[in-house]
Structure 1
Amino acid sequence: MAMKCSRSVSLILLLFVSNWYYCANAANKDGLGASFIFGDSLVDAGNNNYLSTLSKANIPPNGIDFKASGGNPTGRYTNGRTIGDIVGEELGIPNYAVPYLAPNASGKSVLSGVNYASGGGGILNATGRIFVNRIGMDVQIDYFNVTRKQIDKLLGPTKAKDYMMRKSIFSVTVGANDFLNNYLLPVLSIGARVSQTPDAFVDDMINHFRNQLTRLYQLDARKFVIGNVGPIGCIPYQKTINQLKQDQCVDLPNKLAVQYNGRLKDLLAELKDNLPGSTFVYANVYDLVMELITNYGKYGFTTASRACCGNGGQFAGIIPCGPTSSMCSDRSAHVFWDPYHPSEAANLILAKKLIDGDTRYISPMNLRQLRDL
């Protein structure tokens, strides 16, 4: 009788362990634990709503196609979802990463991830001062440090560390403002441009960014996806103020972006070698967006030059999107929602190329492979 009981207990234990192992692995494959998002207005989900700043998107018709809010503005600088929203959805996160400054960014909600991005923010602290207030990368990481301590309390230090290292992705989309709203500003940056060559300015950016990414690593970030700077000379704002034709882009901003992007790729290789256990994925946003702009018809767009929502000039590229702006009739036919930011339709294409694309656009692996690493 004792032997039968022992066998039964052994069988139950074996089934329990097998079931636990299966569930643990299934959970790891089915979805990402948390998405921590850093950067600028391309991925801001509403942090600037809580700042006294000139850079805001919590006014209609922004968010008109954002289903989660019923078409009301949320502070996202587009008509619908950002790339960060779409990536989180596709990788299995049940909720959008909550903006750090929002009142509900506390308790268990932070376990799905937190969004620290801020419209106007950059790598350098001086970037975006034209907007009065914005959250630069240094402060965004300070904020993550607070969240990191909250997760320790929620899960306990050992589980929290594992959750950060194995179940979380850290995405950073930053750098464009350092050129557009710092180095290239005609008045505010003229002193900097006289004293700093493009090489020196890019050096400054790379040195700051090295320190920032290392700080995140020290807070247990291991899986990184870093976006390079897109073709900022091709946005409707640049085309409009420089009075270009539809198929033209401004050379200088694009040259600066390409120069920075080359250095960024080298930086990520250096960090991978120096930070044990880290994985740095390079998102080639420049080539991806340039592909959309150059071959927009192939992707179902009718224009890659004119903003859907905006005013001023032939490409509606001077005045940001707001209640008095003109708005296109078919938002899904425009690559650009406003003078600066892609439409949700464009974000959807960009996000899917990053999630399941090949090494032309995302290397050394795509985001689905990074999640399952």
Structure 2
Amino acid sequence: MVIAIRNLQEAGARKIVCMGILPLGCSPRVLSEWRDSPVDTFDKKGCVKEMNELIGKYNEVMGEEMVKLNAEFEDTQMIFCDVYKGMTEIIGNPTRYGFKESKSACCGVGWYNASAVGCVAMEIACRDVRRYVWWDLYNPTGVVNSLLADSAWRNQPFSTICHPSTVQDLLLT
């Protein structure tokens, strides 16, 4: 990512937003694949600890690298948005955000609607997608993406996902 961001800057980009990685250890596909693992494999939210720890570390290091890049390229404004934080808040408190289901996919087949096949036809999709955190094997629903986008834009409902500023502030400067 650092190389890609350097390439963008060298190509003339002066405002760059870098998104972190979602908590894939909570995704329906991963939960399906790890379902027979020992209990201590999972965290308090029911997600695969090891995977999310690696993703969390990646996001942390990427945020630190963005700070260094901002200092190096004074004529370029860059922000890092750690959507992992917002997603883990939703997964840990689904009803607070209007969700009923935070483990299974809305569209798919098998364990967690993600072990046999993903979303290959709308006929296998859930009836009320607004109640689900995950759309398919690894992707959040549009409702979740809207919450994350609103937070990246203006720090609501999750503050400090993006730093050193919001996307809105980046565009206004």
Pick the aligned partner of 2:71 from 265, 269, 273. Answer: 273
- On the 8 A contact 2:24/2:51 being kept in 1, the answer is yes
Runs of 4+ more than 3 Å apart: 244-247
Letter in 2 for 1:270: K
| Residue 316 of structure 1 pairs with residue 116 of structure 2 | no
Residue 39 of structure 2 corresponds to which residue in structure 1?
none
SS at match of 2:168: helix
Distance 1:235 1:325, change over 3 A: farther
Give the C-alpha shift of residue 325 in structure 1.
Answer: 6.1
What RMSD in Å do the two structures reach over aligned CA positions? 1.8
Give the C-alpha shift of residue 253 in structure 1.
Answer: 1.1
CA distance in 1, matches of 2:59, 2:141: 23
Query: Where do residues 72-87 of structure 1 align in structure 2 (5 Å cutoff)?
Result: none
TM-score, with structure 1 as normaliser: 0.42
| Residue 368 of structure 1 pairs with residue 168 of structure 2 | yes
Give the C-alpha shift of residue 333 in structure 1.
Answer: 0.8
How many residues end up aligned between the 2 structures? Answer: 164
Letter in 2 for 1:221: A
CA distance in 2, matches of 1:324, 1:297: 25
CA distance in 1, matches of 2:125, 2:7: 42
Distance 1:360 1:306, change over 3 A: same
* Higher relative contact order, chain-length normalized (CA < 8 Å, sep 6+): 2
CA distance in 2, matches of 1:340, 1:230: 9
- On the 8 A contact 2:118/2:136 being kept in 1, the answer is yes
Give the C-alpha shift of residue 344 in structure 1.
Answer: 0.8
Q: Which protein has the larger Cα radius of gyration, Structure 1 or Structure 2?
A: 1
CA distance in 2, matches of 1:252, 1:366: 30
SS at match of 2:134: coil
Is there any run of 5+ residues in structure 2 with no aligned partner, and where?
37-41
CA deviation string 1:123-158 (max 9, x = no partner):
xxxxxxxxxxxxxxxxxxxxxxxxxxxxxxxxxxxx
CA distance in 1, matches of 2:82, 2:121: 34
Give the C-alpha shift of residue 211 in structure 1.
Answer: 1.9
Pick the aligned partner of 2:2 from 197, 210, 228. Answer: 210
Query: Where do residues 256-335 of structure 1 align in structure 2 (5 Å cutoff)?
Result: 256-313=54-111, 315-318=112-115, 319-323=117-121, 326-335=124-133
Residue 24 of structure 1 corresponds to which residue in structure 2?
none
SS at match of 2:133: coil
Pick the aligned partner of 2:31 from 239, 249, 253. Answer: 239
Query: Where do residues 118-133 of structure 1 align in structure 2 (5 Å cutoff)?
Result: none
SS at match of 2:17: strand
CA distance in 2, matches of 1:259, 1:299: 26
* Percent identity (aligned): 26
Letter in 2 for 1:316: N
Pick the aligned partner of 1:344 from 131, 142, 152. Answer: 142
Letter in 1 for 2:27: I
Pick the aligned partner of 1:356 from 134, 154, 158. Answer: 154
CA deviation string 1:296-323 (max 9, x = no partner):
101111111110000111x111211012
Letter in 1 for 2:114: G
Give the C-alpha shift of residue 286 in structure 1.
Answer: 0.9
CA distance in 1, matches of 2:59, 2:73: 21
Distance 1:322 1:214, change over 3 A: same
Is there any run of 5+ residues in structure 1 with no aligned partner, and where?
1-208
- On the 8 A contact 1:268/1:280 being kept in 2, the answer is yes
Distance 1:274 1:317, change over 3 A: same
SS at match of 1:280: strand
Letter in 2 for 1:228: G
| Residue 221 of structure 1 pairs with residue 20 of structure 2 | no
- On the 8 A contact 1:310/1:325 being kept in 2, the answer is no
